[in-house]
Amino acid sequence: MNDYKVSALKYRPQRFDEVISQDFATQTLKNAIISKKIAHSYLISGPRGIGKTTIARVFAKALNCKNQKDGEPCNECESCIEITNGIHPDVFELDAASNRGIDDVRAIQDAAKYYPVKASYKFFIVDEVHMLTIQAFNALLKILEEPPQYLIFILATTNPEKIPPTISSRCQKFNLQRIKIEDISKRISEIAKKENITIDEQSLFLISKLGDGALRDALGIFDLAVSFCGQNIVYDELKQFFNLPEKEVYFKISDFIYKGDSKGVLEYFSNLFDQGFDLHTFYSGITEHFRNLLIIKSTKDCSLIDESDVIKNKYIQESDKFSESQLLRILQILFDDEQRFKFSANQRILSETILVELCRINKEVIDLERLISELEEFKKKTSEHDITNIKSGNSYQSLTTKTKEKKTSEIINNEKETETYQVSEEIHSENITKTSLAIDEKNTDEIVEKDEIINSNENTVTSDYRKFDSSLINKLRTLFDLEEERINNVRRHK
Ligand SMILES: [Zn+2]
């Protein structure tokens, strides 16, 4: 006889303290057992594979166990063993996904009429209870309204919102959480040790992650990995087995986008495609990659991303290449095109278009951001520079250009240079003539004289200069916003 058991069954928790990540539910149920305050119906909800029916069974075991200690079952007495093996005459399990009709619930109604055979409580564990028909729910409601003392219902569901309020309001509710990757990884590592299997950190992480919050699924993947790799699970082999893309692929793609290298990204992508790379995996992979970069960039906290430490460090380095607005823009495009991608008849071409667009848009954002910051820098420098130069008397040209901006009543034409100088009206005409001469003949004596005029006007001029630059920067910002709006509009109407 084949005695192979899948890990999820072999290592199914038999005590509350073996159930991982669901402390609230397990502790509350243990306390209920210790204080003997038992409700007649419980509703346990949460995603699949996280321990709903496991908790229900441990609860049934602990309540019926003769050697129960601190709310935990002994797992050694006859009752415990029978429940573990699914043969206890007072514990019924019903899968509402396949037994959803009124007849099935009538069978429960009939069974509920009789006292338990062996134990003090009779249990009905109904899995996927939301699948019951309305008539079946009504029949169930009749029992729940006036349950006999010995009867306990444990209803489990992945869709608690589909359960009629008349039912759920009569239950004590527990909403179980998805299991964290590190908790799954810890559990798999313990199991691997017990099975004498060596597994490297990256494989452990990959398997836990593929479980998507469900320990049962992760253990199923672990079993697959063992059957493929044997007693020694190595990441390189595992990756091949699942035909998974290397994280490296996404780092490479984001580097092309960072450099704005459309040609490079297309060549690289074409190579991936030829290697049989799955495009759906690619799309969700690249979206997750930029999401991780944005999280690191905006929070500086890598505990929020589900990756191994090696990869987390890579993310920290990579995030230096992008600004927050660049990452937001890239993610916006990826999200906007997600539906289009899903239903596209030619996903390859669409992917290529998106990649080129990412390269281009990213470059535009850099250019504009750089331009604005350079202008701000320029403004800061020139205003400092201006004041220093004015003070040391070297700023003729810039000052005469500046004074041009001012509205004046006197205009003097310099015939030699055919250039018009506009100066403020409070400057005496004699001085102005000298100023013009000073420009033409670079006469040092007269430059000294002009310094006096400039000094009297210094404050007006520099403040004008600042105003001029601020308005230029504001105009650029407006242009930047308009451009953004335009691109968004184009994308919306695509
Ligand atoms: Zn026991």
Residues 6 or more apart whose CB falls under 8 angstroms from that of 211 comprise 49, 179, 184, 217, 218, 219, 221
Residue in the structure block whose two tokens are 């028909």: 133
**What's the gap in Å between 71 CA and the centre of ligand 1?**
11
**What's the gap in Å between 168 CA and the centre of ligand 1?**
30
**What's the gap in Å between 67 CA and the centre of ligand 1?**
5
E-state strands within 9-121: 41-45, 91-95
* Alpha helices (H) in 65-101, listed in sequence order: 78-84
**What's the gap in Å between 32 CA and the centre of ligand 1?**
17
**What's the gap in Å between 29 CA and the centre of ligand 1?**
16
**What's the gap in Å between 66 CA and the centre of ligand 1?**
6
- Cα separation of 72 and 275, whole Å? 53
**What's the gap in Å between 63 CA and the centre of ligand 1?**
9
Fold of the 7-175 domain:
Rossmann fold (3.40.50)
311: its two tokens = 């990869």
Residues 6 or more apart whose CB falls under 8 angstroms from that of 222 comprise 7, 188, 191, 192, 207
Q: How many CB atoms lie within 10 A of CB 263?
A: 10
- Cα separation of 138 and 156, whole Å? 17
**What's the gap in Å between 97 CA and the centre of ligand 1?**
30
User: Which pLDDT value is given to residue 417?
Assistant: 39
**What's the gap in Å between 401 CA and the centre of ligand 1?**
96
User: Which pLDDT value is given to residue 38?
Assistant: 92
The three-state secondary structure class of 41 is: strand
Per-residue b/e over 456-492, b at no fewer than 16 CB within 10 Å? ebbeebbeebeeebeeeeeeeeeebeeeeeebeeeee
What are the domain boundaries of the chain? 7-175, 181-242, 247-367, 393-489
E-state strands within 1-146: 41-45, 91-95, 122-127
322: its two tokens = 């992008």
248: its two tokens = 């490296």
**What's the gap in Å between 124 CA and the centre of ligand 1?**
19
**What's the gap in Å between 120 CA and the centre of ligand 1?**
13
E-state strands within 23-150: 41-45, 91-95, 122-127
- Cα separation of 138 and 120, whole Å? 27
- Cα separation of 359 and 266, whole Å? 10
Mean pLDDT by 10 residues, the chain (494 residues): 81 93 94 93 92 94 93 95 93 84 81 87 92 88 90 93 92 92 92 94 89 88 90 86 74 91 92 82 90 90 78 88 88 90 88 91 71 77 61 46 41 39 41 42 45 50 56 67 67 58
User: Which pLDDT value is given to residue 449?
Assistant: 47
- Cα separation of 81 and 484, whole Å? 67
User: Which pLDDT value is given to residue 278?
Assistant: 81
**What's the gap in Å between 76 CA and the centre of ligand 1?**
5
Q: What is the CATH number of domain 181-242?
A: 1.10.8.60
**What's the gap in Å between 69 CA and the centre of ligand 1?**
9
Residues 6 or more apart whose CB falls under 8 angstroms from that of 144 comprise 40, 41, 153, 167, 170, 171
- Cα separation of 423 and 36, whole Å? 97
**What's the gap in Å between 402 CA and the centre of ligand 1?**
94
**What's the gap in Å between 350 CA and the centre of ligand 1?**
61
- CA distances 253 to 257, 289, 380, Å, are 6, 10, 37
471: its two tokens = 């308005």
**What's the gap in Å between 74 CA and the centre of ligand 1?**
4
**Multiple choice CATH, 247-367, 1.10.357.10, 3.40.50.300, 1.20.272.10, 3.10.20.600:** 1.20.272.10
HSE-up (13 A, CA, CB side) for residue 296? 22
Q: Are 386 and 462 in contact (CB under 8 A)?
A: yes
User: Which pLDDT value is given to residue 410?
Assistant: 40
**What's the gap in Å between 235 CA and the centre of ligand 1?**
41
Kindly state the DSSP code that residue 420 receives in the 8-state scheme: E
Q: Are 129 and 163 in contact (CB under 8 A)?
A: yes
